[in-house]
Structure 1
Amino acid sequence: MTTPLNLNKIRKERGRTSRKARADENAVAFGQSKAQKEALKARAEQIARNLEGHKRET
């Protein structure tokens, strides 16, 4: 006689694996490395400083 299967566990495991696969796909498609994020942040700060320096006082 075989042991009974818990269908809830199987369903939940299938859901976990599909969510993990989708998360991995999104990480490849949309993810950025820490260095890239820091470079973008530094560039945005530089642009903001440059813009602030060019404002005219009224």
Structure 2
Amino acid sequence: MAEIVNLNKFRKAKARADKKRDAEQNTVKFGRSKSDKQLEKAKVEKLHRDHDGHQLDD
């Protein structure tokens, strides 16, 4: 004989698992430390300064 399954519990457990999976993906995508963000910003600013320095004046 088959085991009786509470569909509400199953649905809620699936929703929790989906939320956890999404949270893990967002952590990988957006989770950077403050120092990482500052380093990236400094690199971008240096790149722009270097680029502006190579422009020819008319």
Q: Indicate the TM-score class for this superposition, using the shorter chain for normalisation.
A: 0.5 to 0.7
**Count of aligned residue pairs for this structure pair:** 51
Deviation at 1:13, TM superposition (A): 4.6
Q: Is 1:49 matched up with 2:46?
A: no
Q: Which whole-Å CA distance do the structure 2 matches of 1:38 and 1:9 have between them? A: 44
| Overall identity of the aligned pairs, in % | 37
After the TM superposition, which residues 1-58 of structure 1 pair with which residues of structure 2 at under 5 Å, given as runs?
Answer: 7-8=7-8, 11-24=11-24, 26=25, 27-28=27-28, 30=29, 31-58=31-58
TM-score (ref. length: structure 1): 0.58
TM-score (ref. length: structure 2): 0.58
Deviation at 1:40, TM superposition (A): 0.6
Residues 37-46 or 7-16, more deviating:
7-16
Instruction: Please give the root-mean-square deviation of Cα atoms over the aligned residues, in Å.
Output: 2.3
Gapped regions of structure 2 (runs ≥ 5): 1-5
